[in-house]
């Protein structure tokens, strides 16, 4: 039976959920969270004080913070993923469509952002970031001015803008992967790209937000960090461009992820490392999954459920015994015109 947090004299434990980017491979963490949620009497997002997510992880983070059950978000991937990535036809149609998209990908973005926006709008509706029930941190990249751009709830007095923005716009921005989607234009005409450009694993961003802007004691933090998949591969001793070209993006993303994890461990304190950071990211063979290949959604779903079953004994006592304290934003969306 879920309990409600009871105030005490010592700083409360602050639970953070961080979800990596990874395209359709976000099916795995969505399934992971759905499996954990089955034994809860509240949506799993209500058990966290702060949720951070990048790209596909940003879509999940926004949905969870809005109070949506994880199973509804999993349904988005399983049922609508093939449509979003143009692979909903039969085998022949999918083959022809893939061939056309690969050719088009040489000179233009590979996928139609309008399809993604339509599906996200069905799930998120007209909700604004200010409608979130949990604090949010969603990274994007300002491609026009070469700088970071982070969507946040109004959890600090200086955060006076983002809470007014539509949740679907934040989701579109953080998921606008270069070459896969065109940059997303905000209402102010700022061109934004996928937050994975600089923070595909947003754990360090989340912990920095917690200990600085939110002023939470490092010793009070517990972070559940979910990756999509961890590809196992080796790089040759001295590869040329031809041998490394296919792996260079993976190499940079791995470096960023490990660096972010290292920073998060330092920020939470070495003495708390074993109890503060919980990383779940199943190993898979190299190239078995791809960002936009929806043919293996069922395997990703099964992997998430299996991983949740394995990890539940260590996760449940730390993160899922009681709901988080109610989030009261500094500014509210009441009175904002739709």
Q: Which of 55, 220, 225, 307 is catalytic?
A: 55
3-8 CB contacts, 8 Å cutoff, 24+ apart: 3/321, 3/322, 3/323, 4/322, 4/323, 5/322, 5/323, 5/324, 5/325
If phi > 0 it is left, if psi is from -120 to 50 it is alpha, else beta; for residue 215 that is left
- Give yes or no: 55 in active site: yes
For 183, list phi and psi in degrees, rounded to 5: -65, 150
Please name the helix (run of DSSP H) or strand (run of DSSP E) that holds residue 223, with its range, or none: strand 221-226
For 25, list phi and psi in degrees, rounded to 5: -70, -10
Helices (H), the chain: 27-37, 56-65, 70-84, 91-104, 113-124, 167-174, 196-199, 203-211, 241-244, 248-268, 273-276, 297-319
Q: Is 73 exposed, middle or buried (0-12, 13-18, 19+ CB in 10 A)?
A: buried
| Count of all residues that appear for the chain in the document | 338
Q: Which of 20, 131, 169, 194 is catalytic?
A: 194
- Give yes or no: 194 in active site: yes
Round to whole Å and give the CA distance between 143 and 191: 6
Contacts of 302 (CB under 8 A, 6+ apart): 31
Round to whole Å and give the CA distance between 312 and 159: 35
Tell me which residues are annotated as active site.
Answer: 55, 194
């Amino acid at each position: 039976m879920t309990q409600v947090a009871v105030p005490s004299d010592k700083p409360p434990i602050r639970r953070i959920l961080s979800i990596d980017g990874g395209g359709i491979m976000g099916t795995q963490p969505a399934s992971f969270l759905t499996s954990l949620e089955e034994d809860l009497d509240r949506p799993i997002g209500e058990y966290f004080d702060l949720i951070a997510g990048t790209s596909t992880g940003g879509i999940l983070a926004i949905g969870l913070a809005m109070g949506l059950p994880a199973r509804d978000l999993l349904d988005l991937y399983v049922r609508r993923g093939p449509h979003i990535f143009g692979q909903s036809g039969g085998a022949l149609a999918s083959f022809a469509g893939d061939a056309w998209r690969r050719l088009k990908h040489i000179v233009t973005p590979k996928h139609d952002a309008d399809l993604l926006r339509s599906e996200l709008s069905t799930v998120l509706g007209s909700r604004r970031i200010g409608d979130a029930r949990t604090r949010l941190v969603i990274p994007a990249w300002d491609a026009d001015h070469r700088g970071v751009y982070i969507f946040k709830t109004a959890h600090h007095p200086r955060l006076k803008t983002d809470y007014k923005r539509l949740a679907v716009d934040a989701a579109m921005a953080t998921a606008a992967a270069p070459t896969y989607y065109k940059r997303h234009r905000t209402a102010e005409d700022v061109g934004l790209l996928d937050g994975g450009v600089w923070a595909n694993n947003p754990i360090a961003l989340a912990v920095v937000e917690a200990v600085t802007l939110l002023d939470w004691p490092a010793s009070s933090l517990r972070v559940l960090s979910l990756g999509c998949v961890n590809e196992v591969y080796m790089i040759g001793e001295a590869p040329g461009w031809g041998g490394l070209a296919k792996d260079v993006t993976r190499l940079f993303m791995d470096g960023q992820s490990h660096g972010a994890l290292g920073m998060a461990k330092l920020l939470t304190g070495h003495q708390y490392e074993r109890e503060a950071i919980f990383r779940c990211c199943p190993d898979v063979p190299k190239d078995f999954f791809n960002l936009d290949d929806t043919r293996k959604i069922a395997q990703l779903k099964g992997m998430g459920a299996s991983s949740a079953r394995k990890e539940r004994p260590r996760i449940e006592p730390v993160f899922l015994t009681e709901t988080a304290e109610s989030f009261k934003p500094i500014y509210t969306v009441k009175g904002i015109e739709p």
